[in-house]
Structure 1
Amino acid sequence: MGELRADWRLRLRREDAHGPVCGAGVLVDQCTALTCAHVVGRPDAVLWVEFAENSTLAPVRARVLPDGWLPERGDGEDIAVLRLESPRPQARPAPLDPRVWGGMEVYATGYADGFDEGMSLWGRIGGASGELVQLDAVTKADVVREGFSGAAVCTRPREDRPVRVVGLVVSWRGDLGAFLPEDNRLAFSYLIPVDRIARLSPHVAELSGPGAWDRGFEARVTRWFDDPDEDPVKITVVPPGSGKERSLRHLTHRADVVHRGGARTADLVDHALGRVAFPAGAYLAYYDWLRGTGPRPAPAGGHASASRRSAPAGGHAPALGRPSPEAGDSPAHPVALLVDGLDEEPRPGALIDVLERLRSVGFRLLLVFRREGGPGWDEACDRLLRPALLRQADVLLDRLQRVELSRSIRLDVVDSASLGPVAETAERHRVTRRRIDEVRDPHQQLARLRALIRTLRADLGRHGGR
Structure 2
Amino acid sequence: MGDLRADWRLRLRRGDAHGPVCGAGVLVDQRTALTCAHVVRHPDAVMWLEFAENGALEPVAARVMPGGWLPEGEHGEDVAVLRLDSPRPRARPAPLDPVLRAGTEVYATGYAEGFDDGMSLWGRIGGASGERVQLDAVTKAEVVRAGFSGAAVCTRPLEDRPVRVVGLVVSRRGDLGEVLPENNRLAFSYLIPVDLIARLSPLIRELSGPDAWDHAFEERLERWFGDPDEDPVKITVVPPGSGKDRSLRHLLHRADVVHRGGDSRPHLADHALGRISFPVGEYLAYWDWLLGTARRPAGPAPAPARPVTLVVDGLDEEPRPGPLLELLLRLRELGFRLLLVLRHEGGTGWNAARDDLLRPALFGHADVLLGRLEQAEFGNAIRRDVVDSASLDSVTETADLRRAELRRIAAAPDPQRQLPMLRALLRTLRGDLDRQGGR
TM-score norm. by structure 2 comes to 0.98
SS at match of 1:251: helix
CA contact (8 A) 1:13 1:49 kept: yes
CA distance change for structure 1 residues 25 and 416 in 2, over 3 Å: closer, same or farther?
farther
Indicate yes or no: 2:371 matched with 1:398: yes
Indicate yes or no: 2:433 matched with 1:460: yes
**Cα shift readout 1:165-213 (whole Å, capped 9, x = no counterpart):** 0000000000001111011000000000101100010000000000000
Correspondence for 1:90: 90
CA contact (8 A) 2:277 2:302 kept: no
SS at match of 2:126: strand
Correspondence for 2:304: 331
Deviates more, 1:25-34 or 1:219-228: 219-228
SS at match of 2:369: helix
Q: C-alpha separation between the residues in 1 aligned to 2:152 and 2:381?
A: 56
**CA shift for structure 1 position 112:** 0.5
Deviates more, 1:116-125 or 1:448-457: 448-457
Q: C-alpha separation between the residues in 2 aligned to 1:159 and 1:16?
A: 40
Correspondence for 2:47: 47
Indicate yes or no: 2:328 matched with 1:351: no
CA distance change for structure 1 residues 330 and 418 in 2, over 3 Å: closer, same or farther?
farther
CA contact (8 A) 1:96 1:207 kept: yes
User: Structure 1 stretches of 5 or more lacking a match?
Assistant: 300-326
Which of these residues, 417, 421, 426, is aligned with residue 394 of structure 2? 421
CA contact (8 A) 1:43 1:69 kept: yes
**CA shift for structure 1 position 413:** 2.1
Q: C-alpha separation between the residues in 2 aligned to 1:450 and 1:222?
A: 18
**CA shift for structure 1 position 129:** 0.7
**CA shift for structure 1 position 95:** 0.3
**CA shift for structure 1 position 159:** 3.8
User: Structure 2 stretches of 5 or more lacking a match?
Assistant: none
CA distance change for structure 1 residues 362 and 417 in 2, over 3 Å: closer, same or farther?
farther
Q: C-alpha separation between the residues in 1 aligned to 2:110 and 2:257?
A: 38
Correspondence for 1:230: 230
Correspondence for 2:414: 441
Q: C-alpha separation between the residues in 2 aligned to 1:286 and 1:402?
A: 34
Letter in 2 for 1:331: P
**CA shift for structure 1 position 161:** 2.4
**Cα shift readout 1:306-353 (whole Å, capped 9, x = no counterpart):** xxxxxxxxxxxxxxxxxxxxx423212010001000010001111000
Alignment of 1:114-263 (within 5 A): 114-263=114-263
CA contact (8 A) 1:225 1:336 kept: yes
Q: C-alpha separation between the residues in 2 aligned to 1:228 and 1:417?
A: 36
Deviates more, 1:370-379 or 1:163-172: 370-379
CA contact (8 A) 1:95 1:163 kept: yes
Indicate yes or no: 2:348 matched with 1:375: yes
Q: C-alpha separation between the residues in 2 aligned to 1:225 and 1:457?
A: 16
**Cα shift readout 1:18-75 (whole Å, capped 9, x = no counterpart):** 2100110000000000000000001111111111111111111101011000001232
CA contact (8 A) 2:69 2:79 kept: yes
Alignment of 1:259-274 (within 5 A): 259-274=259-274
SS at match of 1:279: coil
Percent identity among equivalent residues?
Answer: 74
Letter in 2 for 1:152: A
Letter in 2 for 1:222: E
CA contact (8 A) 1:349 1:376 kept: yes
SS at match of 2:125: strand
SS at match of 1:346: coil
**Cα shift readout 1:111-142 (whole Å, capped 9, x = no counterpart):** 00111110000000011111000000000000
Letter in 2 for 1:218: E
**CA shift for structure 1 position 417:** 11
Letter in 2 for 1:354: L
TM-score norm. by structure 1 comes to 0.92
Q: C-alpha separation between the residues in 2 aligned to 1:403 and 1:284?
A: 40
Letter in 2 for 1:3: D
**CA shift for structure 1 position 418:** 7.6
- Segments of 4+ moved more than 4 angstroms: none
Q: C-alpha separation between the residues in 2 aligned to 1:66 and 1:449?
A: 50
Correspondence for 2:280: 280
Q: How many pairs align? A: 439
**CA shift for structure 1 position 451:** 1.4
Q: C-alpha separation between the residues in 2 aligned to 1:421 and 1:177?
A: 82
CA contact (8 A) 1:409 1:415 kept: no
Letter in 1 for 2:335: G
SS at match of 1:296: coil
